[in-house]
Amino acid sequence: MQIKRRYILAGLILLVTLAIAGGIVLMNYHSNPKSYDLEEIEKKTNVEDNLKQVNQFLAEKDQERIRSFVKRRGWQMEQTGSGLWYMINKQGGGPPIREGMYVKLRYEIRLLDGTLCYSSDSTGAKIFRVGHEGATRGLQEAMHFLHQGDHARIIVPPHMAHGLVGDGERIPARAILFYDVAVLEASRQKIRD
């Protein structure tokens, strides 16, 4: 509960800072659209610095939560420079997935508390093109580490998933997502359902 309060507080700080920054910029623009003095530029720089600090704080807390989650389960996961975590449970032996390929996945998406958000059992297999729209940035990046036939666990921090707002349906704001995926097919040709 204490962790949730911290995230809510950090999110509120971020939203208030964004609202203030937007108000300052709009107010200054409407009062004199061609005149920006040094004081106004400094205010804008301070707001940007504050936003960066809040973002960095949230990203660090996300990584702490993920690290704890992985450690409690005794998993040996790899972490990328972007904050993505992955682990190949079973190697499929198929061709490696490359940029521009189409992939078909059997999957489950859960929150770290175990809540099931989406599953291919109810929505069907996920088909998308790597490096193009159709999947979160985190899932897109994870594909570059997999081969056709692989089964993998993937943990995606909020900044690589649905961010500050969630998906508006089953994934809440600032959610860390846990994917359990099986790569059913990977092809340069478009894959049919």
Is 181 in contact with 92 (CB distance < 8 Å)?
Answer: no
pLDDT tens, N- to C-terminus, the chain (193 residues): 455 565 565 666 666 665 665 555 545 555 555 555 666 666 667 778 888 888 899 999 999 999 999 999 999 999 999 999 999 999 998 999 999 999 999 999 999 999 999 999 999 999 999 999 889 999 999 999 999 999 999 999 999 999 989 999 999 999 999 999 999 999 999 998 7
Cβ-count burial 156-176 (b if 16+ within 10 Å, e if not): bbbbbbbeeebbeeebeebbb
Q: Quick check: 14 and 53 in contact, CB under 8 A?
A: no
Extract the tokens encoding 70.
């992985």
Q: Are residues 96 and 150 in the same domain?
A: yes
User: 127 forms bridges with which residues in the sheet?
Assistant: 104
Query: Do 130 and 101 share a domain, yes or no?
Result: yes
**Domain assignment of residue 97, given as a range:** 78-187
Instruction: For residue 112, give the CATH number of its domain.
Output: 3.10.50.40
Q: So what's the pLDDT on residue 52?
A: 87
60, 103: one domain: no
> Do residues 25 and 47 both lie within one domain?
yes
pTM, two decimals, is 0.77
User: CB atoms < 10 A from the CB of 58, how many?
Assistant: 21
- Distance between CA atoms of 142 and 136, rounded to whole angstroms? 10
The answer as to whether 105 is a domain residue is yes
Instruction: Give the SS3 label for residue 70.
Output: helix
**Helices H / strands E in the chain, number of each:** 4, 7
Same domain, 88 and 118: yes
Question: 193 in a domain, yes or no?
Answer: no
Spatial contact of 113 and 62, defined as CB atoms under 8 Å apart: no
pLDDT at 69: 97
110 vs 42, 114, 175, 178, CA distance in Å? 42, 6, 10, 5
